Amino acid sequence: MGTTEILLRSRSHGLPTSPLLGQRLSGNGDLLAFAYNCDKDINSIGREQSSPSSKPCGPTISACLDLRMTDEAPNVRDGLLIQEGAVPEALSPLIQTLLETRTCFTWPFGNSNIVKGVARIKSWLFGPYCTSGSVRRTAVYLSMSHDENEGTLEMKNGSTILRWSGTGAEQRNCRIQKILASAAASIGGTLIDAPCMTVHPLGGACMSNDGTGSGGVINHMGQVYCGTGQEVHEGLLCMDASIIPTSLGKSYRIDACQVTDFFSRREPVCNDYSSCRTML
């Protein structure tokens, strides 16, 4: 997002760019959800100092459930990755508020759920780190899938405005929520969705698909186009995830590093897109 904003601000001060700058933003299909008040302590809330008698929160994202090219997702665009997460100490009050307010009108009735009711009261009274409390019994789900690249970023009165159409997102989210709800139920938890967010923004300064500024913001070497033609700004390159034109359905760290490594090792030997594509 930072790269796209810098280029947009530069364009507002006279830098000629492709008209596609700020378009085709993707959130990488990210969803954050919680399996609230499970059967056992999960200890997913981190803290700087743990008492000797309590087990510290372990590392985050140490496991992954890969649902790509499976019966649940035979199409590659329906693929889904689910990772376990942890909450940093600074966010623990916010997460506790989110969890408790989303369930404040739902009480675990029945003799079999007395333990869960007591767990909620413990968290209300003693905070998120209370042993056998509902927050301490909550698992964190981080999912990545594919979206429709429907986001745009634009400048207005000196401020950046992010717009998201949300086309197709409801159907995709319902399918993912069913899978996450099943996973939460398997450990005795209740699925709680977090507000829409992403930690893997993509696009905004996408690579051209036709070798001109009419098809993208940068060329195959990362150079920024001056307009709709093949002319580029010498010495101005984009080398991060803003150039990736679509969601990846996974963390893009390695992909962005590979593209950056490629750009740094190659010399822009020609402006003939067809011959360079053959060479690459």
Tens-place pLDDT, residues 44-57: 998 877 666 667 78
Residues 114 and 63 in one domain: yes
pTM: 0.80
| Residue 160 parent element (H or E) | strand 159-164
Choosing from 128, 160, 193, the residue where a domain stops is 193
Choosing from 146, 162, 193, the residue where a domain stops is 193
- The CA–CA distances, whole Å, from 132 to 39, 57, 115, 138 equal 9, 14, 9, 10
pLDDT score, position 82: 93
Residues 116 and 230 in one domain: no
Residue 245: CB atoms within 10 Å: 21
Per-residue pLDDT of 74-115, as tens digits, reads: 788 888 899 999 999 899 999 999 888 887 655 554 445 788
pLDDT score, position 160: 87
pLDDT score, position 170: 73
Residues 121 and 160 in one domain: yes
Residues 123 and 223 in one domain: no
Residues 207 and 170 in one domain: no
Number of domains in the chain: 2
Residues 134 and 208 in one domain: no
Residues 56 and 187 in one domain: yes
Residues 107 and 223 in one domain: no
pLDDT score, position 11: 93
Q: What is the mean pLDDT of residues 230-239?
A: 91
Residues 155 and 266 in one domain: no
Residues 20 and 37 in one domain: no
Choosing from 174, 193, 212, the residue where a domain stops is 193
Residues 213 and 97 in one domain: no
Per-residue pLDDT of 175-198, as tens digits, reads: 888 899 999 999 999 999 888 888
pLDDT score, position 108: 54
Q: What is the mean pLDDT of residues 148-175?
A: 80
Per-residue pLDDT of 235-271, as tens digits, reads: 898 988 999 988 888 888 888 888 888 888 765 545 5
Show the domain range for 12.
Answer: 2-25+202-279
Percentage of residues in the chain having pLDDT higher than 70: 88
Residues 153 and 168 in one domain: yes
